[in-house]
Amino acid sequence: MSKTFAEVWDNCLKFIRDNVSPQSFKTWFEPIKPLKLDSGVLTIQVPTQFFYEWLEEHYITLLKSAIRKELGAEGKLVYSIIMDNNHAASKQPYSTKIPATDKKAVLNPSVNAPMDIGNKAIKNPFVIPGLKKINIESNLNPYYTFENFVEGECNRLARSAGYAVSKKPGGTSFNPLLIYGGTGLGKTHLANAIGVEIKKNFPNLTVLYINSERFTAQFIDAVKNNSTNDFVNFYQLVDVFIVDDVQFFAGKEKTQDVFFHIFNHLHQNGKQIILTSDKPPVEILGMEQRLLSRFKWGLSADLQVPELETRIAILKMKVFKDGIDLPDDVLEHLAYSITSNVRELEGALISLLAQASLNKKEITLDLARKMIDKFVKNTQREISIEYIQKVVCDYFKLNMDLMKSKTRKREVVQARQIAMYFAKGYTKASLATIGAHCGGKDHATVLHACKTVNNLMETDKRFKSYVDELEKKINLNA
């Protein structure tokens, strides 16, 4: 006995329900109505063209799997799309055969000719009359949360401001909140974390995350299709607007112009705006001054390279969440060796775990040194102040905290001075930065330390041997 179209779609829904969140299922699949089944072709009715495009962009693979499971490899899916006409009292349905493997050819009833939707990565999010805000998905990454964002001196201001925004979106002085910093320091993570927390605290608010390049591509598509007003109206529906990498708007005058108007509308209506950039507003070239001035209305908070303690904490959290037990000395070696950014730090950890698994070896400090040193050379790591301090402390058998303390014990002062000497020679850090890492000393103290080391090397052979051995260790381990 063959299945009816209703039975086929019910079975598809059972499969789909197991593969999406309850909210997504309720929003995107419950409104669908099966219409007919003819020769292996299932016709379903969807409320709007926007609805159809969203299904094709976000759930095409899932739909294909469901249809093939029920109708076999030759099974096809046809959409019947209800178009809402402002000038008509009733909705007029129209349909076109769209195989589940095809992303093109929706008939436009006004011209009765094929209209190519184009590359799904740059679709314009058309606003159809009657579109409800519940239909707008956030695009947030649920993994990026405050819980797995490790706080340290490097990010405390940005994280605290972000958390405050998540408790009162649009109601703090941090609007807009602009988070800036170099590659791999956690800008995208923190921006998503704010959005995820807002959705948890205020489920009725519409949160939307998008990167600037996709926003630009959507705008170009809207201009091409004469639907700029729909494009702008769509973004004006949002309660919390998160835009990643706004520096890519530089040089794009028309995109900046439309973003300016969207920004103004949202800000004037008390909506929260969160931006990320790889540099502070004052350093973004090719951006209109009126837009830059608005970026400065709220708070600009930077993310810096994580300090040693934060890097160790990030690694510990990572292995804990993955259920892996690694010796502390291995984690510390990783943290001392990879200083550039969090992304490379996590990459080094993954590389170590993969190599150990493939070679069926226990992860020891010796193995970590071999694997990580190879990884470090591949990423062309620069020697850091903290790495130099670690080598010096290990050589003189001193505790790192003792070196950074205010103590004036001779052996500690001497080790501290040697660390300053090598930091000046091996890093690009300023004298003030070196001093800050060595117990909060000023630049004059660093200069004095370097002169003292040079003088002692000329007059004290034993001291010179210390410095020579340390230099070999630094270069060897680097």
Cα-to-chain-centroid distance, residue 358:
29
Does residue 364 sit within a domain?
A: yes
Does residue 389 sit within a domain?
A: no
Which residues are CB-neighbours of 220 under 8 A, at least 6 positions away? 122
pLDDT for 133: 52
Which residues are CB-neighbours of 135 under 8 A, at least 6 positions away? 27, 50, 51, 54
Of 153, 236, 155, 147, the closest CA to residue 193 belongs to 147
Of 166, 175, 132, 160, the closest CA to residue 270 belongs to 175
Phi-psi region of 4 (alpha: psi -120 to 50; beta: other; left: phi over 0): beta
CB-side exposure of 242: number of CA atoms within 13 Å? Answer: 28
pLDDT for 191: 95
The CATH number of the domain holding residue 346 is: 1.10.8.60
Other C-beta atoms lying within 10 Å of the C-beta of residue 464: 14
Does residue 219 sit within a domain?
A: yes
Question: Contact 175/298 with Cβ under 8 angstroms?
Answer: yes
pLDDT digits (tens), the chain, 478 positions: 578 889 999 999 988 888 877 767 877 888 899 998 988 888 998 877 767 877 877 788 888 888 888 888 888 888 887 654 433 322 333 333 333 333 333 333 222 222 232 333 333 344 444 445 546 788 898 888 998 888 888 888 899 999 999 999 998 889 999 999 887 788 999 999 999 999 999 998 999 999 998 899 899 988 988 888 888 888 988 999 999 999 989 888 899 999 999 999 999 999 999 999 988 888 888 888 888 888 888 889 888 888 888 888 888 887 777 677 777 888 887 887 777 777 777 777 777 777 666 667 777 777 777 777 666 554 445 578 888 888 898 888 888 888 888 888 888 999 999 999 998 888 877 888 888 888 888 888 999 999 999 999 989 888 888 898 888 888 765 5
Instruction: Judge if 351 and 323 occupy the same domain.
Output: yes
How far is the C-alpha of 123 from the C-alpha of 371, rounded, in Å?
44
pLDDT for 54: 74
Instruction: Judge if 166 and 275 occupy the same domain.
Output: yes
pLDDT for 138: 85
pLDDT for 270: 92
Instruction: Judge if 164 and 290 occupy the same domain.
Output: yes
Phi-psi region of 112 (alpha: psi -120 to 50; beta: other; left: phi over 0): left
pLDDT for 160: 92
Q: Which residues pair with 43 in a beta bridge?
A: 36, 78
Instruction: Judge if 267 and 369 occupy the same domain.
Output: no
How far is the C-alpha of 187 from the C-alpha of 261, rounded, in Å?
25
Question: Contact 100/64 with Cβ under 8 angstroms?
Answer: yes
pLDDT digits (tens, 9 = 90+) for 410-424: 889 999 999 999 988
pLDDT for 375: 62
Instruction: Judge if 285 and 407 occupy the same domain.
Output: no
Of 236, 225, 283, 280, the closest CA to residue 258 belongs to 236
Q: Which two tokens stand for residue 312?
A: 């160790």
Only one residue has tokens 């740059």, namely 122
Instruction: Judge if 420 and 328 occupy the same domain.
Output: no
pLDDT for 102: 34
Task: Reply yes or no: is the peptide bond before residue 176 cis, omega within 30 of 0.
Answer: yes
Residue 21, class by beta-carbon neighbours within 10 Å (0-12 exposed, 13-18 middle, 19+ buried)?
exposed
Instruction: Judge if 368 and 411 occupy the same domain.
Output: no
pTM, to two decimals = 0.52
Give the pairing type, strands 299-303 and 92-97. unpaired
Domain boundary among 246, 276, 303: 303
What is the total count of domains within the chain? 4
Order of strands across the sheet that contains 92-97: 33-38, 41-46, 76-83, 92-97
Return the amino acid letter for 301: A
Instruction: Judge if 328 and 426 occupy the same domain.
Output: no
The CATH number of the domain holding residue 94 is: 3.30.300.180
Question: Contact 368/327 with Cβ under 8 angstroms?
Answer: no
Q: In which domain, by residue range, is 289 found?
A: 156-303
